Amino acid sequence: MTNQASYQACTRCVMDTSDADIRFDAQGVCNHCLRFDALRPRFDFTLAQSQARIDALVRKVKAGKKGQYDSIVGLSGGIDSSYVAYLAGKYQLNPLVVHFDNGWNSEIAVSNIKKIVKKLNFDLFTYVIDWEEFRDLQRAFFKASVIDIEMVTDHAIFASMFNIARDHGIKYVLSGTNFCTEHTMPPSWYWRKQDLVNLKDIHRQYGEIPLKTFPMLTTLRFQAGRQLGLGQEYIEMLNAIDYRRGPAMQTLKDEFDWQYYGGKHYESTFTKFYQAFVLPRKFGVDKRRAHYTDLIHNGEMTRDEAMQLLDKPLYDPVELASDRSYVLKKLGFSSEEFDRIMAEPPRSHAEFKSDQWLVDLMHKVKRLLPAR
């Protein structure tokens, strides 16, 4: 495997040297494809195997019920979380559905959520974050010129789910995270979402108001649940089945009159602007490459189809102008200030404090423990 100084794209998928750490073998196949080949057998199930795995998870969740709810489902209105809610209903779980409202929801996402909880007769709790604190954090990440501005939202979602689960005595948090449609994303394109030390240091240097109510989750608490089964436990239901985006979308449409919103995570107005404008313009990153590669690997798209889609513009010019104006006004940036920020050179999250040492230590500890 070699790194390439000049531009190169994988001969099998659509990942290219916009991932600074990409490597290619002698046939021009990238490390993402080879990693997929190595890991895919862990998630390649027959129908019978999928059924047995999901049945085991359902029994586990039901057995852990202590109060009114047996689990929590975080519902954004997107494909993955909506399908988790569908599975919870199909297998007669009784989750508390939690929607994280950070002020950026699209109308389609809100409509999808209402349709799902109404038909499944699930209780819905909408967690509305303090907008002034949240905006200050998003502004700080912009001003820091780090790549993972969505870390602010993702951290708050994880933290609020775990906090609500703890407050209600709920053991299990059901997540839409999955290997089949999310395995490609290069580490250089994001930062670990639970790195509270990193988040706080960026805010300390660039924030303007104290964080009094922003939900926080330490790496220790998250990993204790995920890796060691202590406290609230994070369950990836979609990794128990042969999950495919196309059939999942069709099921959601048939069951709930669910609507698609045009791109992965575009159920959020901010996420669409971030992924379709900020990332490519400032960081040279087009996340569609990773998303389409996932679908190529999953047998849901050909490389030629992905290349044709990549030739299409990320944004309609009129829609971009409208979204840009809306996002800047909501975040309190003037056009000139935002342009200056976009012109600043990117900085690595690693330039700020981090608790990665703790993750490394916990992984060492887990390897020493007997398998559960």
Written as six digits, the tokens of 192 are 């670990």
Buried/exposed 245-260: b ≥16 CB within 10 Å, e otherwise = beebbebbeebbebbe
Summarised one tens digit per residue, pLDDT across range 97-121 is 999 999 888 888 889 999 999 999 9
Domains plus CATH for the chain?
Answer: 45-284+330-351 (3.40.50.620)
More confident site: 293 or 3: 293
3-state secondary structure of 316: coil
Are 11 and 18 in contact, with CB atoms under 8 Å apart?
A: no
Summarised one tens digit per residue, pLDDT across range 1-40 is 555 569 999 999 999 999 999 999 999 999 999 999 999 9
CA–chain centroid gap for 122, Å, is: 23
CB count in 10 Å sphere of residue 164: 21
Looking at residue 169, the DSSP 8-state letter turns out to be T
Give the span between the Cα atoms of 194 and 228, in whole angstroms: 16
Summarised one tens digit per residue, pLDDT across range 309-327 is 999 999 999 999 999 999 9
Strands 95-101 and 71-74: parallel
Residues 370, 60, 265: CA angle, nearest 5 degrees:
95
CB count in 10 Å sphere of residue 317: 8
